[in-house]
A = this chain, B = another copy of it.
Amino acid sequence: MSQRQIPEASVARLPLYLRALIDRAEAGVESMSSGELAAAAGVNSAKIRKDLSYLGSYGTRGVGYDVEYLIAQISRELGLTQDWSTVLVGAGNLGQALANYGGFADRGFRIAAILDADPAKVGMTVAGVEVFHQDQAERIIREEDVAIAILAVPGDAAQEVADRLVEAGVTSILNFAPAVIQVPEGVSLRKVDLSIELQILAYYEQRRLVSDDLANGAVRRHLDGLPD
């Protein structure tokens, strides 16, 4: 792992490169230029070269980056060369979908236990993982050496559950609950809002409608009263 702290925005792009590289490696590709990696990861190539330079990777002129080597380097940098124990909190629809989602285990994120506040769910097995009562959180986090928790609880329960997990020793929370939560300094928090990406698509859809209208002469039909 590089000694240097990598800028947060660059860290957030490393998984995108990793996904693109693994995809190409599976297709038998052995090296990629920054331009090819840019097309596959959806990031411009100057940014990619900059991001990878933090890892000490500069590629070889005329050859590009060695795919397997770069996969190993990014995996190591991201901490994916070790397995991580996680707890998944919430055994509702979303929690069950997440437990069944193969992509976590593939990347070394093992769900050690599912926790739920509902006694009726305790003892269920989802994707081979047992559901425990939330009261067992402290014990399980300690015994399974869990640092990362995945929150899939209702929005109004999210802050209270997060507080309890942090109290029990969790230092990273991935929040799928539809609520903004606060964590103390020193605890990492990432939020997944499944509607964010839809909103981005809506922007481009609206652009399409407007340019169709412009093409049809029906200028500003979609625009309402707000000033530009």
Contact = CB atoms under 8 A, between A and B. Distances in A.
Interface of A: 1-3, 5-6, 11-12, 14-16, 18-20, 23, 40, 56, 72-73, 76-82, 84, 86, 93-94, 96-98, 100-104, 106-109, 147-148, 150, 171-174, 178, 180, 188, 190, 192-210, 222-224, 226-228
A192 B197 contact: yes
B180 A79 contact: no
A190 B198 CA distance: 8
Nearest to A150: B198
A199 B78 contact: yes
Identical chains in the assembly: 2
Given A1-B223, A98-B194, A206-B79, A201 B178 contact: no
Contacts of A148: 198, 201-202, 205
A19 B180 contact: yes
A15 B199 contact: yes
A36 to B, nearest CB: 13
Contacts of A98: 97, 194
Contact of A106 (B86, B104, B195, B206): B195
A96 B92 CA distance: 11
